[in-house]
Amino acid sequence: METVRVQDVSVNDLPWKIQYTSERCTMCGSCVAACTFDAIEPAMERRSVTVSTGHQPEPSQRHLATPVIKQKASVANACVGCGMCEKVCPNNAIKPVRNIDSRVNYLNRSGGATVKRGGRNNLIGSERTLDKIVVGRISQMTDPALDSERHTFDILAPFGRVLLPHELPLTSDGNELKLNAHTPPVNWIYPVIFSDMSIGALSTRAWEAVALATAYLNEKHKMPVRMCSGEGGMPKKLLQSDYLKYMILQIASGHFGWNRIVQAMPYMKSDPAGILIKIGQGAKPGDGGLLPAAKVSKPVQAIRGVPKADLLSPPNHQGLYSIEESVQKMFMSMNAAFKFRVPVAIKCAASATSIAVYNNLLRDPYKICGGFFLDGIQGGTGAANEVSLDHTGHPVVSKTRECYLAAVKQGRQGQIPLWAGGGVGLTGNAAADAFKLICLGANGVFLGKMLIQLCGCVGNEHGRCNACNTGNCPAGICTQNPRLVKRLDIDKAAQNIVDYMLALDSELKKLMAPVGNSSLPVGRSDALVTTDKAIADKLAIQYVC
């Protein structure tokens, strides 16, 4: 008897198994062509069939060679469950099925390297803190609720440093007020920002779809939504167009793409909506950025000014190791580059140190910081070490609340707008998540992963796909492969984002009206209740049962 080689990988060891019905298959090859991970292949299968053709039973053996579609038993070519084979099969003959007996966590590390993937955190429980909070205060006979369909709502949030009345450099001559000095710039925008996703992390078509949706919402629907460029710069034509006013330019630790931005400054027709200095992100705090060489296409090389290679951003900004240095950096960015016309904000990963950073920025005598972006552990990413994705970071809800209450104790709430992200819209209802976070103290929220799901991303928190880092995105969203990028319909993706944002706007009003607010209920924690005593104590909201 042949020795059983127990160390060999079989299909049963992989996270997804291909369920294949050969009787339905016509061997058209569509599934093999559509699989971007080379997980299946055509093969010949030897079959022994017992038949009897006579009047009396006369069984005989026939051996047939039958063409079939076979799954590869290889970790490198493991099926990710994207389901593209099922989508293109005209006969419903093939589909991926989750394998609960997988050994992939052990097999992935067989090469001695850390496991990398995209997507969101996979270890957070199915029920989030936000799901255990509901709007419990409804205005009725005491103070009537508003009509969400007919009432006028002021749904705007500040992006920029807000001064207290006594800090404004104003004098009066008896007839009019005069401004004696420069004040920090403040832009009033929609309380939902399209989060930083770079050209490179996204395909050029996916990034274009998000940018197109941003411009359409502003121009046609008068919704002042802003989009962050992400690290890596932007196309020259966009930098030199009027649409730049809808874009927030990001400076990350790698400074990729900033040569092109600096060169375009003399030709800019409009100022950008703001500058965002990324210190860290919730999906991989303290781990820097990563753009694999597979995604560094020629257009990305041109925009970033780099050769085709793995692009690694350092964990921190070189020359920026303290809060004081970050303030100096913001001062230089505003003064030297845009003459104090553009607000500058900081993005940090939510962590135990978030309150210390926020408090120090509040006390800054120069009053430079125009926003504090907190990114929680459930934030998405295009490429990260799996150990960072699943085991580092902090949920954003409690940190947002703690930062707000710390500002309240000093009488400084609202001076540096708080923006929260990381898992907003995880269940598909971003309006409810945004409203609850605003009631807990945030001025607004930012969305990232949700946007690419609207574009057609099939990845989820249960291990489906999440192969953004491979450059083989089956939906054409997180890849630079020209053949795959063509799968993405730019107009349809942009339309999906626009439709969702219009629905979100209506839903936000549906939540604001019952509590009697015609403007954003920032810090109105009295509107929220929870049936979880621990959450009530931590967030200082009402416990109900």
Residue pLDDT, tens place only, 361-420: 998 888 888 999 999 999 999 999 999 999 999 999 999 999 999 999 999 999 999 999
Distance between CA atoms of residues 405 and 403, nearest Å? 6
Q: Tens digits of per-residue pLDDT, 285-324? A: 988 888 999 899 999 999 998 999 999 888 888 777 777 7
Write the CATH number for 334: 3.20.20.70
CB distance 284 to 315 below 8 Å:
no
Q: What does the block give as tokens for 96?
A: 């991926």
Give a yes or no: residue 323 inside a domain.
yes
Pairing relation of β-strands 289-291 and 311-313? Answer: antiparallel
Residues 157 and 99 occupy one common structural domain: no
Concatenate the DSSP letters of all residues of 100-169 into one string: TT--HHHHGGGGSS--EEEES-SSS-SS-TGGGEEE----SSSSPPP-TTTS--B--EEEEPPPPGGGS-
Pairing relation of β-strands 60-71 and 40-51? Answer: antiparallel
CB distance 22 to 92 below 8 Å:
no
Amino acid of residue 419: W
Q: What does the block give as tokens for 267?
A: 């030709």
Residues 72 and 221 occupy one common structural domain: no
Concatenate the DSSP letters of all residues of 334-377 into one string: IIIIHTT-S-EEEEEE--TTHHHHHHHHHT-TT--EEEEEEE-T
**Residue 126 has what pLDDT?**
59
CB distance 18 to 69 below 8 Å:
yes
Residues 324 and 454 occupy one common structural domain: yes
Distance between CA atoms of residues 264 and 148, nearest Å? 44
Residues 70 and 25 occupy one common structural domain: yes
Residues 156 and 50 occupy one common structural domain: no
Model confidence band, residue 121 (pLDDT cutoffs 50, 70, 90) = confident
Residues 142 and 109 occupy one common structural domain: no
Does the pLDDT value for residue 56 go beyond 60? yes
Nearest to 385 by CA among 110, 37, 118: 118
Give a yes or no: residue 360 inside a domain.
yes
Residues 31 and 137 occupy one common structural domain: no
Give a yes or no: residue 119 inside a domain.
no
Nearest to 400 by CA among 130, 160, 171, 200: 130
Residues 196 and 345 occupy one common structural domain: yes
Model confidence band, residue 125 (pLDDT cutoffs 50, 70, 90) = low
Nearest to 118 by CA among 434, 351, 465: 465
| Residue 393 backbone class (left: φ over 0; alpha: ψ -120 to 50; beta: rest) | left
Across residues 34-46, what is the average pLDDT? 94
Q: Percentage of residues in the chain with pLDDT exceeding 70?
A: 99
Rg (CA), the chain: 27
**Residue 287 has what pLDDT?**
86
pTM: 0.93
439 is in an annotated binding site: no
Concatenate the DSSP letters of all residues of 233-247 into one string: ---HHHHTSGGGGGE
Task: Give start and end residues of each alpha helix (H) in 456-530.
Answer: 482-485, 490-512
Across residues 125-153, what is the average pLDDT? 86
85 is in an annotated binding site: yes
Q: Tens digits of per-residue pLDDT, 103-116? A: 988 888 887 888 99
Concatenate the DSSP letters of all residues of 54-116 into one string: SSS---EEEEEEEEEEEE---STT------HHHHH-TT--EEEEE-TT--HHHHGGGGSS--E
403 is in an annotated binding site: no
Q: Of 56, 81, 113, which one is at a domain's C-terminal end?
A: 113
Across residues 259-276, what is the average pLDDT? 92
Residues 87 and 152 occupy one common structural domain: no
First to last CA, the chain: 66
Residues 145 and 38 occupy one common structural domain: no
Residues 312 and 449 occupy one common structural domain: yes
Which helix (H) or strand (E) segment holds residue 278: the answer is: strand 274-278
35 is in an annotated binding site: no
Model confidence band, residue 333 (pLDDT cutoffs 50, 70, 90) = confident
User: How many domains is the chain partitioned into structurally?
Assistant: 2
Expressed as residue numbers, the domain containing 249 is 131-162+190-517+526-543
**Residue 2 has what pLDDT?**
64
Q: What does the block give as tokens for 520?
A: 């954003």
Across residues 170-196, what is the average pLDDT? 90
- How confident is the prediction for the chain on average, in pLDDT? 91
Q: Of 46, 80, 113, which one is at a domain's C-terminal end?
A: 113
CB distance 188 to 157 below 8 Å:
yes
Model confidence band, residue 87 (pLDDT cutoffs 50, 70, 90) = very high
Nearest to 485 by CA among 211, 209, 274: 209
Does the pLDDT value for residue 206 go beyond 90? yes
Give a yes or no: residue 1 inside a domain.
no
Residues in the chain: 545
Nearest to 104 by CA among 81, 121, 126: 81
CB distance 385 to 115 below 8 Å:
yes
The CA-based angle 357-361-364, given to 5 degrees, is 145
User: For residue 490, which phi and psi values (nearest 5 degrees)?
Assistant: -60, -50
Q: Tens digits of per-residue pLDDT, 421-461? A: 999 999 999 999 999 999 999 999 999 999 999 999 999 98
Q: What does the block give as tokens for 280?
A: 């860290």
**Which residues fall within 8 angstroms of residue 202, CB to CB, at 6 or more apart?**
210, 230, 382, 452, 477, 478
Model confidence band, residue 221 (pLDDT cutoffs 50, 70, 90) = very high
Q: Percentage of residues in the chain with pLDDT exceeding 90?
A: 68
Residues 243 and 359 occupy one common structural domain: yes
Write the CATH number for 91: 3.30.70.20
